[in-house]
A and B are shown apart, each in its own frame.
Chain A
Amino acid sequence: MQFKPYAQGLAVAVSLAVLAGCSTTGGTQDGSMDGTSGMGAGTGSGAASSQGMDSGQGVSGSEMSDRNAIPEQRTIYFAFDRNNIRPEFEPILEAHAQYLKRHPNTQVVLEGHADERGTREYNLGLGERRAQAVKQYLSVEGVPSAQVEIVSYGEERPAVRGHNEASYAKNRRVVFDY
């Protein structure tokens, strides 16, 4: 609080620096732990923000129209503390499997999610288990594992809020992110 007057005076001047500081900072896995080389060490590497999932794919016109063929239903749901595929979602997974097999250059990220109950890091594990179950299903359907990546968000990105089973059921999910 005591720095507030400084902050106000510097607000415009440093706003760009702040943005830069947020996104550059510190570099890659080879970076120096102790940061003795100062702010400059961070520039030029490790710009971690906004690497879109689709970047580098070079989406052309025809591929764009193919993207419209991605199955519309991209979320499937799970029972409490379970990661088995419920029968009603099997047609959805099969549709995605067909699509991925027809488009061998297409990558999909399976986002695994958990409901809010329990501890955050453990829930990262639960979300991953669900995504792995979907990946396994796709693999059995003939989708090469190289096309499928898994990211677990645990309970960090709830679809809906609320402390009730209806909300939890919507949050225990795997999302296909093309």
Chain B
Amino acid sequence: MIDSTQFATAHENLNKLRNNFGQVVIGQQQTIDELLICVAAGGHVLIEGVPGLAKTLLARCLAFSAQADDVRIQFTPDLMPSDIVGHAMFDHEQQTFSVREGPVFANVVVADEINRAPAKTQSALLEAMQEQQVSIEGETRALPQPFIVIATQNPIEQEGTYPLPQAQLDRFLCKVLIEYPSPEEELLMLQQITHESIANQLDLSRLQAVITVDDVIAIQKAASFISVDAVVQKYVVSIVTATRSWNGIDIGAGPRGSIALLRAARAHALLHGNDFVTPDDVKKVAATVLRHRVQLTPDLEIEGYTPDDVISSLLTAVEAPRA
């Protein structure tokens, strides 16, 4: 259990992060909130958006704000699993094999354009995401905590990509969609980024470290202790099971979807300062948690419907708790 002070601190730290994002990321509040929900829930996030919408900036901002180690891995077709998790190499001086850890040993790992790498390499990263550890030459090594993977993929230019299988998409707690900024936000962006700035370097000078890595872990711990009433849990299950028999959904979310939905709802409640989860919290995070876990029927895809349309229809019809 956590006391009210710990909860308040966690909520305050989460808000510090949220405000700190606003120093360099203009607009995209929904995206920032969903990213913070993933951080608080201890999950990984898949960000989808066209190039130039601050996907990498979000990751760098998170790492900098939390004083965490961050690394960016550009996924390419020739990227090997050992390029991510590390490999054993022979030390001539010591005449022994030593393990050289890969870039995955960081608190925040940005897997840029994850769908450009072959399935073998994707699996290596996804295994680390699930197990929070990697095995190199038979030696198991735990990954640093917190360990958050922020993967990005481009919805366009699908030629030569390796789309993530449904089972691997399930490892991501949320799938965040980044939309274009509004004209006002874009104008503000121009004024801030081009002023006293060289080239296209990410300007993180206005950022300051607001929390520590331990605070992130405390946030995650606080989120996990948020109370959830039984009727809300049933509501979560009702939503997820509805995806399995819903008109327009070919493959629904699995049990991991229910778990992720509840974890995200807890994080959402924490983000909004509530120490309990309401059906509203569940409903607010349902789309970001479920959109990559459902597969639409071909006729809906042909007609241009998105998973968000179907989930919205589903949430309108599934009865909320009433007693």
Q: Do A and B come from one complex?
A: no
Chain A: residues with CB nearer than 8 A to chain B? none
